[in-house]
């Protein structure tokens, strides 16, 4: 980072792909529900759903993939499969808890996740980070999921931070676009399983190789 000294008012984290290695688990759970309920998976389904809120991807499974359930039933079935796996082992990414706590020691932190509220709460409890985040927002709680800016704008509002003076840590194309659209400084931690598209990655002010690189010193004046 160069130019004007940048000290954020707050730092926001995505959950899936940033704190936990879960994109594959979501994919597996959705594929199973599609297969068990008369649907047919499409080659681009995984990328199409990244960043969608649960009402959005549940409708996608019904309308685009042919799942013979209503959206709420679809959401419940997928989440039940996902949480069953998390109860066995929470797939925290290396250094995730430490990175959040390093940043939280310097600035208020918030979570802006496309995951369902019950999934967020389960991850927060299991990781021991529930008391570290000042706010957590699910895409269920805003009008539009990522790449729309709604979730980051709402997280900033709840935390009392100015979006243009905040930073966001994201891994996916739609997440990077969402944070940028909210006017935040974007820190990219590219998802290795589902890498962001070049134009989305170009929105980032800095690209991390791992969470070990995320520290207050990353920000000028930190």
Q: Give the tens place of pLDDT for each residue, 83-131.
A: 999 999 999 999 999 999 999 999 999 999 999 999 999 999 999 999 9
Clarify whether 150 is annotated catalytic. Answer: no
Domain boundary, last residue among 72, 88, 104: 88
Same domain, residue pair 35 and 144: no
16 is catalytic: yes
CA 53 to centroid of chain Cα atoms: 10
Same domain for 83 and 103, yes or no, is no
Verify that 189 and 96 share a domain, yes or no. Answer: yes
Which percentage of the chain shows pLDDT scores above 70?
95
Q: What is the average per-residue pLDDT within 2-15?
A: 76
The structure tokens listed for 171 are: 């891994």
Kindly report the pTM of this predicted structure.
Answer: 0.88
Taking only the tens place, the pLDDT of each residue in 38-95 is 999 999 999 889 878 889 999 999 999 999 999 999 999 999 999 999 999 999 999 9
In degrees and rounded to multiples of 5, residue 71 shows phi and psi of -55, -40
Same domain, 151 and 171: yes
Q: Which of 16, 21, 150, 171 is catalytic?
A: 16
Average pLDDT, whole number, for the chain? Answer: 93
Whole domain around residue 17: which residue ranges? 10-21+92-218
Q: Are residues 110 and 208 in the same domain?
A: yes
115 and 17 in a common domain = yes
- Find out whether the peptide bond into 147 is cis, omega within 30 degrees of 0: yes
Write out the H or E segment, with its range, that includes residue 210: none
214 with 188, same domain: the answer is yes
Quick check: 15 and 135 in contact, CB under 8 A?
Answer: no
Question: Domain for residue 1, yes or no?
Answer: no
């Amino acid at each position: 980072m160069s130019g004007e000294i940048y000290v954020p008012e707050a730092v926001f984290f995505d959950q899936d792909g940033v704190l936990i290695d879960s994109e594959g688990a979501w994919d597996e759970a959705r594929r199973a529900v599609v297969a068990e309920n008369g649907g047919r998976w499409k080659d681009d389904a995984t990328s199409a759903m990244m960043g969608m809120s649960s009402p959005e991807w549940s409708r996608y499974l019904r309308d685009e993939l042919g799942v013979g359930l209503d959206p709420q039933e679809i959401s419940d079935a997928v989440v039940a499969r996902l949480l069953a796996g998390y109860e066995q082992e929470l797939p925290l990414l290396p250094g995730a808890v430490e990175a959040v706590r390093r940043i939280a020691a310097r600035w208020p932190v918030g979570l802006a996740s496309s995951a369902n509220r019950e999934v967020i709460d389960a991850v927060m409890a299991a990781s021991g980070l529930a008391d570290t985040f000042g706010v957590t927002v699910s895409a269920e709680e805003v009008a539009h999921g990522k790449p729309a800016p709604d979730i980051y704008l709402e997280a900033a509002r709840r935390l009392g931070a100015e979006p243009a003076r905040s930073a966001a840590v994201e891994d996916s194309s739609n997440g990077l676009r969402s944070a940028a659209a909210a006017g935040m400084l974007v820190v990219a931690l590219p998802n290795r399983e589902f890498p962001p598209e070049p134009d989305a990655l170009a929105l980032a002010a800095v690209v991390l190789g791992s969470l070990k690189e995320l520290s207050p010193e990353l920000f000028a004046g930190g």
